[in-house]
A and B are shown apart, each in its own frame.
Chain A
Amino acid sequence: MTPAVVIIGATSAIAEQISRLYAEQGAKLFLVGRNEKKLEIISDDLKVRGAACVATIAMDLTDTRLHAKLVEQAVSFLGDITHLYVAHGTLADNEACENNPQLAMTEITLNLNSPVSLLLHFAGRFRTQQYGTIAVISSVAGDRGRQSNYIYGAAKGGLSVFLQGLRNRLYVDNIHVATVKPGFVDTPMTTDFKKGMMWVSAKKAAKLTVYGVDKKRNVIYVPGFWRFIMLIILHIPEFIFKRLKL
């Protein structure tokens, strides 16, 4: 069956690489993002790579009033949705957020409120279909709060918990929900970070994500070694953890 894929946050580096993998399979793609020009370039690119058809919608994803309509638009373009990828997000400077709570709220709105609203809207559609896969990019940062990025981490942590519940709820409807937790991925979002051995390219991250989704994994660490790193981090007793500079 030809995949019919909705990608939210389609201009993000990982999402773009994911859509390329689907384009090469001849998929139908429905892309949602903020930057119209970038969406247009990506859409042209995906057509050359083999996508059967591509639609793009440029919108502000924090405007939750538009979410219901977005689902309708996606369905009218694709028919049944085989895959939904939710990949939008920002990584604001933690210190800037600490000094400016308003900025922290914006960060949480975009990384938590917006995907929650979208997913609840799309969940309705998936339940009528009685099949399909939902994959959402969360983060290893959501596994445990650390002083260096706990605001972003709080949003992603909230999202991960939400996804656990959603997976539980949609299981009976034959719908798979995957939580994707990337570690360090080399993207425009992380341009200012010093890169080392732990980093992977967006292309690699996308491959691992789609592989995990195809295998119906519930929680996909990208790359897999992060599962062990986070296992250790989660098991450090709090009275020690609070003293660490992480």
Chain B
Amino acid sequence: MFRIVMQHIHHGARWCFFLAPLIMLGEVFCDLQQPTLMSQIIDNGLAKGDLGYVIQHATWMLAFALVGVLFGASSGVLGNYASLKMGEALRSHLLQVALIDRNPAGLEPATLITRITNDVIQMQNLVMMVTRGLVRSPMLLLGGIVMSAIVCPDLAPILFIIMPLLVIFLLIVVRRSVPRYTRMQRAVDTVNRVMRENLQGAKTIKAYVLENHQRHQFNQENSHLRQSSQSAAMATVILSPVIQLMLNLGVVIALSYGGSLAISKTISDGQIIAFVNYMIQITTAMVQTVNIITSFSRAITSANRVQAVLDEEPAEQRSTPTAQRPTGSSIDFDNVTFGYQQSKPILNQLNFHVADGQWLGIVGATGSGKSSIIKLLTASFDQYQGTIRIGGTDIKQLDLPVIHSKVAVALQDSLLFSGTVRGNLTYGAPGTAAQLAQAATIADADKFIDRLPGRYDAAVEQNGKNFSGGQRQRLNISRAIIPDADILVLDDATSAVDQETNARIKSRLEQARAQRTTVIISQRVTNVMACDQIIVLADGKLVAQGTHAELVQRSDFYRQLVHTQLGGGNNGHA
């Protein structure tokens, strides 16, 4: 954890990080002077009736209070600066790692997002805490013990007995409560899950009249949560009364033992009072230290989660490109095998050739490996066997931007960024108004864009949630058309549009991309029927290859697909 912090704290922030606790020592020192000075006023000033001595020492106390706040405040501001700068650098680094990460088995987006947002904030708070609390409380504790031993050595043994007892007690309570808190957290998760499912499944619950059944289940989990929360809280409830009691007993012992010493004139009143004051300071510091350790352990979890993201940073870079941008737009897969685990390949010994200007259709079930072909073609992953060529050049010898400008993809999940319609459409390449309109027309998005207030400048909310699924898909297709790339890939990009619109998009696209390499991936046979070549995937293997007419003749698998999707007997020729 310390390593993460050190790696992301630079220049001024680094100075602040070390300076803040040092300055904090100043505040602690000032705080610790007060009881001693006070006892001197009582013992020397009052006993001798020396008003000048009283005023002089009171002025010292005042000075220490004022200097203390200067130390405290500047330490706070410096620590604050260090923690925020660390957070900034860490956040930026994590996002960078997340964006360039090309590891196929990487972390889920949702996980990444929480780590870059919440966990970094946790780390930030941690640094703030380290620079302030982690120095202040233990130092006050130690300093208090030292000072009280100096002021009143005769009473010091009281502390040496009470402190270890308290520490042992704390350890026992913490050890006992940790498993109970874990159990409680599990109960919280279960209750949350039941709630979430009941919201998501509201329609199913109503349709099957399951209200009472679900309520019963919830009540069970709910009372389980109640019990485990109570048990967890009860484990720590003993903490504060016992600490309080130990302190108070210590005070009583100090008074009685110290009092008897004072009566025999070994120590003074002022010393007893100062000692009791230090004891109160020590206990407060003790409680705070416990609190800080608890939050510290929480921050460690965050640090581990952040480290896991940093570990995703690729160790080796892509080798420098050796080939020029190819002029042709043919696609070759030669014996391509790919998988996250060696034993379970997602693509297995794949061979196909798409000639320049041809249309390729890829059909297959979910999980058959269709989208993985595109990921490999666009060099999202490098860890595959075999060779992939674009225009006859091995893509491993090409620069990433070259590959990406050669191949434009409309992905399956039609994600839009918040901003404007125009901003989204020109994400891949700038385009003139005419180009935008043309692309929108092909994707059948022109009509609804024209109806939007501000048309191409209409606002797009986060995740494009102010557009329907079908509209998002059509914007997504337009976005892929605008760069006018040599190779266009549509990865199941029309699954949410209705059949009529689908047909319109299909025919306009056929016109616009005639004689240009285009890849259509779909679960629906109708979308690929017209392609020059269709490949059928099942479980990562190529099971059939050819035109629609050939495949209907040759492939049982394809024929059955046609049969189930288009109904019996007509073989798709309506």
A and B: real partners?
A: no
